[in-house]
Amino acid sequence: MDDQRRRAADWFRTLRDRITESFEALEDRAPGEAPAGRFEVTPTARADDGGGGIMSVMRGGRVFEKVGVNWSEVHGTLAPRAQAAMAARGVPGMADDPRFWASGISLVAHMQNPHAPAVHMNTRMFWTPGAWWFGGGSDLNPCIEYADDTAHFHDTLRAACAPHDDGYYNRFKAWADEYFYIPHRGRARGVGGIFYDDLNTGDWEADFAFTQAVGAAFLPAFLPLAEARMTQPFTDADRDTQLIHRGLYAEYNLVYDRGTKFGLETGHNADAVLMSLPPLAKWV
């Protein structure tokens, strides 16, 4: 399992590098007098010497108002609350040995142009002495919705899932629809995507290959939408719509998101955990 954990962590790091390079290249292609955006890269570390990662954040670019692409590889002992949550999900061995290791990539992009959709993606591997599993997914969060954009995003994810299991797309799309729902608003935060967790079919290679496919599908699913919308004219009313919609994203991540809760409860860098929050939002 040590070799498998190393392979997974290295893949997530490679994917992080590929995405940050692609986003900076998109900034270079975007018209405008403002300088093209660049990522500020900051190492992160757990307070208990339990590993860390890389926080990469771009602010005020031509295309991206704020985007974070984080990679991490952490280990340690689960706090009692996190341990109880894992046990409630049926993770074996948690009562006897709360040690864990985890690695993954997490991305959230908030765009300058209200017509360009915000987006989230993460993939990860989690290990305890009693089990291992993969999780992740990607979902689109347009402030102003376009049916063609939604169709392209979902079609790309469907194509990524198909070679691995005929049922994965429908199963994980339904999971995303449920997971990214905001109960107190009675609505989803966006137009969905796919989400999965606790994926352990017993075949590590197959599950890793699927997780790689989900990560590799992100750029072809999202970049064409960002590039097509980044120069579209918009009004003050469009910007107002964008800021109000961002409030939904902030509410979801602070109240419901399991990854946010886990990161804070396990002592990871708080700025890295909360990089998903939009730079500006408003409530009516």
Selecting among 110, 120, 152, 154, the annotated active-site residue is: 120
Q: What is the mean pLDDT of the chain?
A: 92
The CATH classification number of 2-276 equals: 3.40.1500.10
Q: Residues 227, 179: contact at Cβ < 8 Å?
A: no
Is the pLDDT at 80 greater than 90? The verdict is no
The CA distance from 242 to 247, in Å, is 9
263: nearest Cα among 166, 124, 138: 124
Query: pLDDT for 173-221, tens place per residue?
Result: 999 999 999 999 999 999 999 999 999 999 999 999 999 999 999 999 9
pLDDT band at 167 (very low <50, low <70, confident <90, very high): very high
- Is 0.85 surpassed by the pTM of this model? yes
- CA quadruple 261, 270, 135, 63: dihedral sign: positive
Active site residue 120: yes
Instruction: Please indicate whether residue 4 or residue 81 has the higher confidence score (pLDDT).
Output: 4
pLDDT at residue 127 tops 80? yes
Q: Please give the Cα distance from 139 to 71 (Å, whole number).
A: 18
Alpha-carbon torsion, ordered 93, 99, 105, 108, to 10 deg: 90
Residue closest to 228 by CA, chosen among 35, 60, 29, 36: 29
Looking at residue 29, its pLDDT comes to 96
Q: Which of 65, 4, 3, 39 is nearest to 203 (CA)?
A: 4
Rounded to whole angstroms, the maximal C-alpha distance in the chain is 59
Q: How far is CA 57 from CA 13, 65, 277, in A?
A: 15, 10, 12
